Amino acid sequence: MTEPSTIDTGTQTSAVLAVDGISKSYADNLVLRGVGLSVRRGEIYGLMGANGAGKSTLIKILSGAEQPDSGRIEVGGQPVTFADPLAAVRRGVGTVHQNPNDGVVLDLTVAENLALDRLNSRSSSIWFSLRRAERDAAEVADALGLQLSRAVMRAPVRQLGVSERQLLVLARALSRKPEILILDEPTSALSTEETGRLFALLRELVAGGATLLYVSHKLSEFDALCDRVGVLRDGAMQGEFRRTAPTPAGLVPTAAPTAAPTAGTAAADRPTGFDWSEVLQALFDRTPAEMRHTESHGTDVVLELTGLQVFDDSPPLELTVRRGEVTVLLGLLGSGKSELLESIFGARPAPAGATLLGQDFAPQHPAEATARGVYLVPESRHEQAIIPGWAIERQLTLPFTRRFSWAGLMNTGREHRAGTDTIERLGIVARTAAASIGTLSGGNQQKVVVGRWLLGTPTLLLLDEPFRGVDINARHDIGDTIRGITAEAAVVVATSDLDEALEVADRIVVLRQGRISADLRFGDAVRSELISAMSPHTSVLLATDDDAPADLVADARAEAGLVGHDPLDLLRSDDHTPGASAAPAAAPTPVPDDDTVDHPADPAEESA
Amino acid sequence: MTAGSTLDTRTVGQDRQGPNLVDFFVRYGVLLIFALVLIVFSLVIDNFASMDTVTSILQAQTVAGIAALGMTLTAVVGDLDLSVGAIAGLSVTVAALVMIKYALTGGTAIVACLLTGLAVGCVNASLIVFLNIPPLLATLGTMFTAQGLKRWLVDGQTLVSGMTLPGSDEPMKGKFTSDFAAIDGSRLFGLPYSVYLFLIIAVLMWVFLERTRFGRLFYAVGGNAEAARLAGTRVQRYRFAAYAISGVLAAIAGIVLASRLRQGDVTAGDSTLLDAVAMTLVGYAVLGARKPNAFGTVIGALFIGVVLYGLTRLQMSYYTQDLIKGLVLIFALIISFSLRRRRRRSAPISPVLPAAGSGA
């Protein structure tokens, strides 16, 4: 590994959060080995790390959910110990966890959730007043620039989508006015606009004196936000990297002519914040191989939809899915992609006029779909796929108990062998197939959920957001798995993340409000086109008037410094096309999960 | 996999710690204390270790035990079936009506009881599955209804052979048939038939839940119904089946009870519900299962039976029985819920340094 470009432990005097020599082990496993980092006041510190690097353990320790075995935590120069999360909150350390359900009460309304902290406060009246709760909630929501209609205010949180829940959790955390805010992949469920809004808000907070520790795996977000990035690997800090380009506040890429996009290999030339090749080398301990794939073309038609209505008021939709290629359904939250997959799978009213391999297909129940080899990996791993507490092997055989039983009696030996095989085949990091699913990291749990269907005979594999909350390595493994089975089965991946789409797709179908707004081959896919096809998305929390959001969003994004910087805004450069990327020499930068590589080209293309 | 997996951080031996005392107690606590209680009683009580004791305890627990096995099944898919006691009581009344009032055969009585149990079980299941009523509340409703029905059928009277019902001049001629009475009255190798019935149902239930694919799917439905559905399980059928089977088992419990009482006692089955709840919940604590399970329910039945029998032999008043059951239950609940809480919910993922390439 080359020496990190910049190692900066921060000057002790200005460190508002300093961590030194934190070690933590569970049983005989050392998860953190003397982690040290310091975050200065008013800075946004990015923390990167692959799955199992110790990121989440570190966050748990900093938020008071776990105690370290050794080491010191200093807040504002004073050593602290957090006995529990509340203690951390009292010291001004707020945390937004990755799973939004951890931060909201599902059965309470939006207003009640937002007002929850005030309801808990001793000074509040013992009488519950809906009006006051809604007023309090509006104030809290205001902090995040959310404008809530009365209907939304009174909706139970359970009815909201993941991204709305995420925004709520953020709003709650912000309402406590934390001095240090720890954010664990806060954008994993947010749309571009919401992300832009969030970033603008985070900058405002920092300008107001707050300090942020920002955990993510999206390089573009570090680019857009962070002043420094620390890389955690194997429970130890591998290096800290300082921004090599100006901060994004002043960074609106000029339309400076750039060299041919495929030319440079020097990542530092790019107008992005960090020297990513160095960072990634620290992250992976090697230069990651170019992750781009060669586009393959579909063969025979597996699924044909004619006249499926995703929503009651959307027009009938026509779609043909072929074997031999990965079809990506790209769409923001509310575009109907989950609904479409669930309809095909028989989990909601059956599609009209669908055929599977030329035969009528209208499943009334998932059991009918699975019987014909149509499998769904649902959107929410915990709520929809995993049986809590079950061993890996049992999770795997759940849909196929009949195949693993004789006269009704389970053949546990065969089950265990199947589990062991799957662990090996998918590279699941687990001690044994008999281990509980709870002992696995998120990425590995997701591999189990995907691997479950490989025990069957897939004809059509539907995956809804298969990469959500999954680390980079697991994401590539799952991507490989998905691409690997296209010979046997047609594969449809639904995602709201353009980068993910481009990583696995041979064909990209963009869905907007229940209708197909674009249908492109991977080779023809252009970012700007895909983005405009996805359309400005307004969540129910953000929706105010019909015309307002676009402007608001534009403002928010300009504020966020996202204009022309956010990768989603940028055109994909030519170099991504299969021909170019297939040749290793043409691959300019080793950036696996991000397209920062495309930046140089974009202004040129836009100005051209 | 491709190169990606070589980068993977590996998990090694989480959980590989020495024997943890709390873990050990969570797992074997109930069984250990059960054994301890048996030893102490054997030493303190004359003639405790005898066939008579075994017979008394088993027979005493048979009725609630059978009902508890059905309740265990409903607990697996969702919630406790609160109507089992009422169904058992109703079943006693039905048996008495059939044999005493209508002077029909024991076989007819058995069929009538089973159908009654199945019917009430199906009502439970329909309320839960089709009308979306939460299981605890639905079964609470049928509990009241079945209890009321029982009283209404016999005008609140205890049916005894030879008695005269109000509004009728003739005394009833029928009586409990000898074959029906034999269910709990006759013995094979020293144990009443009813005890064999209990043990057979227990073994069947254990095999069903632990070893068959159906049992597996029952647990899946209870663990995460949506995940089970999206894996192709007909969730509603399993939930329906659980409550229907529970109704039938409660009726069998009622048949045993009727065979023991040999009259249509209007208060019959009143204690069955709480006893069955206690057995099922004590079962959670056996072997650290922390979930309903057939083996645990049987151990729960025996444990409670032994404690009650022993203390009764030690001149403990009959009225303290509920107090003792309550304490045993609370003790078991602490083992299955509170002690476990201190444990880590899931072992963390721990990385191992990659073998190669850490050059820095």
Structure tokens at A559: 């504020």
Q: Which amino acid is at B348?
A: P
> Cα(A575)–Cα(A578) distance, rounded to whole angstroms?
8
Q: Please tell me which of the candidates A30, A386, A481 has its beta carbon nearest to residue B350.
A: A30
Q: Which residue of chain B comes nearest to A441, CA vs CA?
A: B349
Q: CB neighbours of B329 closer than 8 A, spacing ≥ 6?
A: B278, B281, B282
Neighbour-count burial of B165, counting CB atoms closer than 10 A to its CB (0-12 exposed, 13-18 middle, 19+ buried)? middle
Tell me, yes or no, if B348 comes closer than 8 A to chain A by beta carbon.
Answer: yes
Alpha helices for chain B (secondary structure H) = 3-6, 21-44, 51-77, 84-96, 106-129, 135-153, 178-185, 193-211, 213-223, 225-230, 235-261, 272-285, 294-313, 321-333, 340-342
φ/ψ of residue A179, rounded to 5: -80, -40
Q: Do B230 and A347 touch (CB under 8 A)?
A: yes
Q: Please give, rounded to a whole number of angstroms, the shortest distance from the CA of A425 to a CA of chain B.
A: 7
The closest CB to that of B357, out of A28, A285, A390, belongs to A285
Substitution target in B226, B230, B236 with the highest count of A β-carbons within 10 Å is: B230
- The label of the residue with tokens 């026509």 reads A318
Q: Which residues of chain A have pLDDT under 50?
A: 1-13, 247-271, 286-290, 537-608
Handedness of CA B202, B208, B210, B215 (dihedral sign): negative
Flag if B358 and A285 touch (Cβ within 8 Å).
Answer: yes
**DSSP letter assigned to residue A92:** T
Selected residue of A29, A57, A423, A476 to mutate for chain B interface (largest B Cβ count, 10 A) = A29
CATH 3.40.50.300 residue ranges for chain A? 301-505
Asked if B353's CB is within 8 angstroms of A387's CB, the reply is no
Fold of the domain spanning A301-505: Rossmann fold (3.40.50)
Which of A235, A394, A402 minimises the CB distance to B351? A235
Q: How many Å lie between the alpha carbon of B344 and the closest alpha carbon of chain A?
A: 9
Strand ranges (E), A467-506: 490-495
CA A508/CA A510 separation, integer angstroms: 6
- Residues of chain B contacting A52 with CB distance shorter than 8 Å: 8-9, 11, 349-351
CB contact under 8 A, B351 and A404: no
Rounded to two decimals, the pTM is 0.72
- Phi, psi dihedrals of residue A487, rounded to the nearest 5°: -65, -35
Best of B6, B8, B233, B336 to substitute, by most chain A Cβ atoms within 10 angstroms, is: B8
Smallest Cβ distance to B348: which of A31, A378, A473? A31
pLDDT of residue A578: 37
Q: Do A286 and B7 touch (CB under 8 A)?
A: yes
pLDDT of residue A204: 82
Q: Which of B346, B352, B358 sits opposite A438 (nearest CB)?
A: B346
Q: What is the dihedral of CA A114, A116, A118, A120, to 10 degrees?
A: -170
Residues A67, B53 contacting (CB under 8 angstroms)? no
Answer yes or no: is the ipTM higher than 0.85. no
> What is the rounded distance in angstroms from the CA atom of residue A391 to the CA atom of residue B216?
12
How many C-beta neighbours within 10 Å does residue A280 have? 25
Q: What's phi and psi for A495, nearest 5 deg? A: -150, 160
Residues A444, A450, A453: CA angle, nearest 5 degrees: 140
- Pairs of CB atoms within 8 A across A/B: 182
Q: Does B219 touch chain A (CB under 8 A)?
A: yes
The C-alpha angle A402, A463, A199, rounded to 5 degrees, equals: 145
Selection from A245, A254, A318 nearest residue A276 by Cα:
A245
The residues near A179 (Cβ < 8 Å, ≥ 6 apart) are: A16, A75, A76, A91, A92, A93, A209, A210, A211
Residues B234, A365: C-beta atoms closer than 8 Å: yes
Q: What is the pLDDT, as a whole number, of residue A284?
A: 60
* Pairwise CA distance, residues A304 & A572, whole Å: 30
Domains and CATH numbers, chain B: 51-163+170-341 (1.10.3470.10)
Distance to chain B for A366, nearest Cα, Å: 5
CB A100 within 8 A of CB A165: yes
- Mean of per-residue pLDDT scores for chain A: 75
pLDDT score at A583: 36
pLDDT tens, N- to C-terminus, chain B (360 residues)? 333 333 333 333 344 445 578 888 888 888 999 999 999 999 999 888 888 999 999 999 999 999 999 999 999 998 899 999 999 999 999 999 999 988 899 999 999 999 999 999 999 999 999 999 999 999 999 999 999 999 998 888 888 887 887 777 778 888 889 999 999 989 999 899 999 999 999 999 999 999 999 999 999 999 999 999 999 999 999 999 999 999 999 999 999 999 999 888 888 888 899 999 999 999 998 988 889 999 999 999 999 999 999 998 998 888 888 888 899 889 888 888 887 544 444 333 333 333 333 333
